[in-house]
Amino acid sequence: MEDIKIPVHVAIIMDGNGRWAKEHSLPRNEGHRKGTKVLEQIIKHANGLGIKYLTVYAFSTENWRRPKSEIDGLLKLFKRYLDEHIKKAHKENIRFRALGDIWSDRIPDELREKILLLENMTKDKKGLCFNMAFNYGGRDEMIRACKKMINDIMLKNIPYDNINEELFENYLDTAGQSDPDLMIRTSGEIRTSNFLPWQLTYSEFYFTTCLWPEFTPQEFDKAIADYNIRKRRFGKSE
Ligand code: IPE
Ligand code: IPE
Ligand code: MG
């Protein structure tokens, strides 16, 4: 991986846990459990490569449509992740941030408290910033951002003409972060499923048929290598 351009921000749609479980005659939640292990490896790898932001889609606003047993399993895995990282936060250099509506009534209080605690414990960490998108939906994020912006506009008497892209971005869950350079989706689905519609506008997309529980640092490197041969123009001519 010499002379390679490392993207500043990588976003991942971790998809295919259910199909992986099915292929191995296991319950869906076993696929999610294996997926969490893979995630841990990818976070470490991304941090080692010097990537600044890693954003993963862990649970969408639409995923509440799944059976209660599966949702409970996913909430439990998230809680376990938080517990483990709260315990070792002092010896890690990774910053944790949650994207999505963590204030929703559907998020158990205990989980919200752990999210806020880990965010706070890691807020000054200088390594990778790891964004976990949980109860995240891009449309929901934009509506929540609009509400916060309108509230500020009224309270602070901000002139209507001051509304522009820069101002709006301050109200998104990713405020202060650069947009993803590369977006990876596993499992062969070629869609974004309500993931970061504002921020992915100019990202490079990489789709692989690899199922998330089988994703490896080597697969991640393949995506980075592919990113390196892309020509980004941002609307300009050569
Ligand atoms: C991704 O895997 C994890 C979540 C959406 C929580 P899926 O559970 O969507 O797996 P498939 O797509 O059914 O294989
Ligand atoms: C997107 O995957 C959400 C996450 C990976 C958390 P889904 O499996 O929910 O997406 P669809 O339903 O196939 O579009
Ligand atoms: Mg899926």
Residue 238 alpha carbon to ligand 2 centre in Å:
36
pLDDT tens, residue by residue, 50-85: 999 999 999 999 999 999 999 999 999 999 999 999
Mean pLDDT of 157-171: 95
Check: pTM over 0.85? Answer yes or no. yes
Q: At what angle do helices 28-49 and 217-228 cross, to 10 degrees?
A: 50
Tens-digit pLDDT profile for residues 2-44: 689 999 999 999 999 999 999 999 999 999 999 999 999 999 9
Atom of ligand 1 nearest to the CA of 60: 5
Query: Which protein residue has the closest C-alpha to ligand 1 atom 3?
Result: 15
Domain for residue 167, yes or no? no
Residue nearest (by alpha carbon) to ligand 1 atom 13: 18
Nearest ligand, CA 65? 2
Is 141 part of a structural domain of the chain? no
Residue 186 lies in a domain: yes
Residue in 181, 169, 100 with CA at minimum distance from that of residue 133: 100
**1 pLDDT exceeds 60?**
no
| 192 Cβ inside 6 Å of ligand 1 | no
In a domain, 164, yes or no: no
* Structural domains of the chain, count: 1
For residue 164, indicate whether it is catalytic: no
Domain housing 219: 9-136+179-227
Given pLDDT bands bounded at 50, 70 and 90, which one contains residue 238? confident
> How far does the centroid of ligand 3 lie from the alpha carbon of residue 194, in Å?
13
Instruction: Provide the mean pLDDT of the chain.
Output: 97
Name which of 166, 167, 172 is nearest 156 in CA terms.
Answer: 167
Residue 186 sits in a domain whose CATH number is 3.40.1180.10
Question: 47 in a domain, yes or no?
Answer: yes
Domain-located, residue 210: yes
In a domain, 188, yes or no: yes
The pLDDT confidence band at residue 165, using thresholds 50, 70 and 90, is very high
Residue 14 lies in a domain: yes
Any idea what DSSP says for residue 203? P
User: E strands of the chain, at which residues?
Assistant: 9-13, 53-60, 95-99, 129-136, 182-185, 204-207
Which band of pLDDT confidence, cut at 50, 70 and 90, is reported for residue 98?
very high
